Structure 1
Amino acid sequence: MIELSERVRAVRDLSREAAVDLRSRALAIDTDPDAMDEHYGSPVFEMVRQADTPPQYRESLPSTPLLRAMERGSCLENVAGLIELARGDVGAILACPSPGLAGVFVELLGTPEQQEWFFTRMHGGRRWSFFAMTEESRGNDATAMETRFDRDGEGWRLTGGKCYVGNAARGSVGVVFGRTGRGALSIRAALVEVPAPGWHGEKLDMIGLRGAYISRLSFADVAIPAGRMLGDHLPVTRRGIFAAITTFNHMRVRIAASAVGTALAMVEYVLEHRKNAPGGQLALARAEAGRELVYEAAARIDRDPERGYLSSAAKLGAVGLAVGTAHWASAALGPAGLIEHPLLEKWTRDVHAFEFMEGTSNIHRLHVARGYQAGDADA
C-alpha cells in the first residue's frame, strides 16, 4: 500500500472539495454539451486550465490553494487529485476548455516559440484544444496511420482524417499526427489552428461522456505553415510518436484514475440512498482496492517513466472495475433506480467510454503479458 505524503494528501483533499462544483454541472453538460456559457466561470475549470499551462505562459490571474498544490506535481499527485475530481464527474472535467493532452505534447516536442504560440491561444478559458491521433480504420494501431503531411514549399499540406477525438469539432487549436513518409520514424505531429480551408469537423452522437464532445475530422489539403511542425529541433528519434511513450504511460494511469473515481462515486451514491444495499461493502472494497492499484502505478511511473507494465495493468483493471460497479449499482437501486436517479444513470453510460481511451483492454492485456514475461512485474 502506498503511503501518501502530506503534499499528496493536500492535493487529494482540495480536489475532493472542488469535485462538488463539477458534480453540480454534470447533468447540464451531459444534456447539452454545446451550452457552455453558464460553465465558463467554473473555478474548477479555471484551475484545470491554469494547471495545464506552464507558469511562464499563464495569464496574470489569482492563484488558488489547489493550483499551488497541483503545480508541476508528480504522477502520484496528479492521479490522487484526478480520482477525487472524477468522483465529481469525468464528463465535466473533459468539457473544460484547456490545453489538455495537446499541451503536454507541445511542451514535450515544441520550441519555446511554438509553446508560446499554443499556450497563449488558450488564454481566456473559452477555447478548446484537440489531440488528433486515432483513425477510424486503424484504431489503436497508431503506427499504421494513413493521414499524411506533404511538403509545400517551406510548409506542409495535411490530408486524411481522424476519429474519436475529444473537443475537436469545437476546438480552435491542437496537435494532429500524420506521416511525412512510410517509415516508423516518419510519424510526426503538427500544430493546427482552425477554422482553415479544407478542415472539417463534426461532433459524433455519443451515449456516454457527452461533455468530451467526441468528434470526427477530415483534412483536404489543409495548409500547415512553416514553423508548425513539432520536433524539428530534436533528433529524429525524439520527434514523433516514439518520443512520447512516457507520456502515454502517464495518460493511461490518468484514465485509470478517472474510471476508479467514477466507480467510487457510484458506490457512494448507492450507499447514500440505500445504506444496506446488497454487496455494497464488497463494491466499496473493490473500488478502494482499485484506487490503491492506481496509486501504485503512478508511483511506479514517477520512479521509472518508461516502464509501462503497471500503467497498463491499472488501466485494464480500472475499466473492468468501473463497468462492473455500474452493473451492480443499476441492480442495487431496483427496477426504477436509473429513472429516479439521473446522475447515476449518466455514470452507468459514461463508464463504457473508458474502454476506448488510451488503448482498449485487449491491447493492454498484451502489454501486461509482455511486461510480465520481461520481468517488469518484479521491478
Structure 2
Amino acid sequence: MIDADDRLRASRDATAEAAADLRTRALAVDADPTNMAPHLDSPALKMMRLYTTPAEYRDEELTVLPDHTGTGTCLERVVGTVELARGDCGLVLAMPGPALAGVVVEVLGSEAQKERFYRKLAGGRTWTFFAMTEPLRGNDATAITTRLERVAPGEYRMHGNKRYIGSGARGGIGVVFARTGPSPLSIRAVLVEVPAEGFRAERLPMVGLRGAYLSELWFDGMPVTDDMLLGQHLPPTRRGIWGAMQTFNNMRIQVAALAVGTSLAIHDLVSELRPNAPGIARQGARLEAARHLVYDMAAQVDHDAEQTYFPSAAKLSAVPLGLQTARWAASVMGPAGMFEHPLLEKWCRDVRAFEFMEGTTNIQRLHVSQGYLKGRSDG
C-alpha cells in the first residue's frame, strides 16, 4: 500500500479544498455545459489548469503548490483526480486545459510544437481535444480509418470522422490520429488548430457527464503540413501508435480515479443525509480500499509507463464499484431520493459513463489476463 508523503498530502489537501468549489457549480454545468463563462475564473479550475501545465508554460504562478514545477507523477495526478472528482467529475472534464492532448504533446511533440500548444492555452479560455475514437471502431488505434493523403512534399489532406470526442466542438487545439498507410507504423498524431478549412464539429446529446462535451468531428480534406505531425524527430516506432498507448495507460488510471472520486462523493452525500443508512460503513471501507488500489496501480505506472496490466486492473476494479455504489445509494435513499437530491441523481448518471471511457470491461479483462499470463502482475 502507498503511504502519502508530504508532497502527496499537500496535493491531496489542495485539491480537496478546490473540490468544494466544483460541487457548488456542478448542477449549473450539468444543466447547460455550453455556458462555461461564469465558471472559467473559478479558483479550482485555474488551479487544475496550472497544475497540469509545465511550469515553463504557465501564465501565472501556481500558488497553492509553489514547488510543483512539472505536470507531476502519475501517482500525484491520481491523488488529485480522486479528490477533484469527489467535488464533481463533470467539472473536472469541463475544464479548459491540456487534458489528454497534453499527454500526447508531452510524449511526442518537439519543443516548437509544445510551445505552440501551451501558448494557445494561455489565459484559460481554450479547450483541447484528443480524437482517436471512430464510429463502429471505438478507440482501437490500429483500426482507425481517418487518413492523410499526400498531395505534395510535406503536405497532406485529412479525411475521416471521429466520434465521442471530449470538448471536440469547443476545442481550439487538439490531437487527431490518422494514418498514411495500412501498417500500424503509418498511424500519426496530428496537432490541429481550429477553426480550419475542411473541419466541422458538432456536440452530441448526453445523459451523464455533460461537462465533457462529447462531440463528433468531420475532416473533409483538411490541410495538414509536416510541422503539424507530432514525433517527426522520433524513430518511426516511437511516433503515433506508441504515443497513443502511452496516453491510454495514463488515462485508464485517471478514469479509475474519477470513478473512485465520484463513488466517494455519492457516499459522502448519503452519509450526510442518512448517517445510519444500511451498509454505510461497509461501503465506505470498500471505497477506501479502491482508493489505495488505484494509488498502488499509479505508482506502478510511474515505474513502467508502457505496462498495460496495472492501468487496466485499476479501471476493472474501480468502475464496477462505482456502479455498485450508485445502486446502493438509490436503494438506501428510497424511491424519492433522486428527485429530492439533484446532486445524487447527477452523480448516479455520471458514474455510468466510466465503463465506456478508454476501453470497456471486456477490453480491460483481456489486458489483465494477458499481463498475468506474461508474469507482469507482480510489479
Check whether TM > 0.5.
yes
Structure 2 gap segments, 5+ residues each: none
SS at match of 2:197: coil
Q: TM-score, normalised by structure 1?
A: 0.97
Structure 1 gap segments, 5+ residues each: none
* Cα-to-partner distance string for 1:83-111 (whole Å, 9 max, x where unaligned): 01110001001111111111111121111
* 1:147 equivalent in structure 2: 146
* Distance in structure 1 (CA, Å) of the matches to 2:66 and 2:86: 19
1:255 and 2:255 are equivalent in the alignment: yes
* Distance in structure 2 (CA, Å) of the matches to 1:218 and 1:10: 43
The one-letter code sitting in structure 1 at the alignment partner of 2:308 is: G
Correspondences of 1:1-379 after superposition (within 5 Å): 1-59=1-59, 61-66=60-65, 68-69=67-68, 71-153=70-152, 154-379=154-379
* Distance in structure 2 (CA, Å) of the matches to 1:70 and 1:353: 32
Partners of 1:50 and 1:67 within 8 A in 2: no
Q: C-alpha displacement at 1:30, in angstroms?
A: 0.4
The one-letter code sitting in structure 1 at the alignment partner of 2:155 is: G
* Distance in structure 1 (CA, Å) of the matches to 2:179 and 2:192: 15
SS at match of 2:263: helix
Q: Summarize the Cα distance change of 1:243–1:214 in structure 2 as closer, same or farther, 3 Å threshold.
A: closer
* Distance in structure 1 (CA, Å) of the matches to 2:66 and 2:36: 23
SS at match of 1:217: strand
Q: Summarize the Cα distance change of 1:354–1:137 in structure 2 as closer, same or farther, 3 Å threshold.
A: same
Partners of 2:269 and 2:344 within 8 A in 1: yes
SS at match of 2:217: strand
Partners of 1:253 and 1:311 within 8 A in 2: yes
Structure 1 range deviating more: 288-297 or 63-72: 63-72
Q: C-alpha displacement at 1:242, in angstroms?
A: 1.9
Partners of 2:104 and 2:243 within 8 A in 1: no
* Distance in structure 2 (CA, Å) of the matches to 1:281 and 1:206: 33
* Distance in structure 2 (CA, Å) of the matches to 1:69 and 1:115: 19
* Distance in structure 2 (CA, Å) of the matches to 1:276 and 1:166: 39
* Distance in structure 1 (CA, Å) of the matches to 2:296 and 2:98: 27
* Distance in structure 2 (CA, Å) of the matches to 1:43 and 1:310: 33
Partners of 1:172 and 1:193 within 8 A in 2: yes
Q: TM-score, normalised by structure 2?
A: 0.97
The one-letter code sitting in structure 2 at the alignment partner of 1:73 is: G
* Cα-to-partner distance string for 1:330-363 (whole Å, 9 max, x where unaligned): 1111110000000000000001110111111100
The one-letter code sitting in structure 2 at the alignment partner of 1:99 is: P
* Distance in structure 2 (CA, Å) of the matches to 1:113 and 1:298: 30
Q: Summarize the Cα distance change of 1:14–1:300 in structure 2 as closer, same or farther, 3 Å threshold.
A: same
Q: What is the aligned-residue identity percentage? A: 55
SS at match of 1:260: helix
Q: C-alpha displacement at 1:69, in angstroms?
A: 4.4
Q: Summarize the Cα distance change of 1:211–1:282 in structure 2 as closer, same or farther, 3 Å threshold.
A: same
* Distance in structure 1 (CA, Å) of the matches to 2:372 and 2:245: 18
Partners of 1:203 and 1:213 within 8 A in 2: yes
SS at match of 1:378: coil
SS at match of 1:376: coil
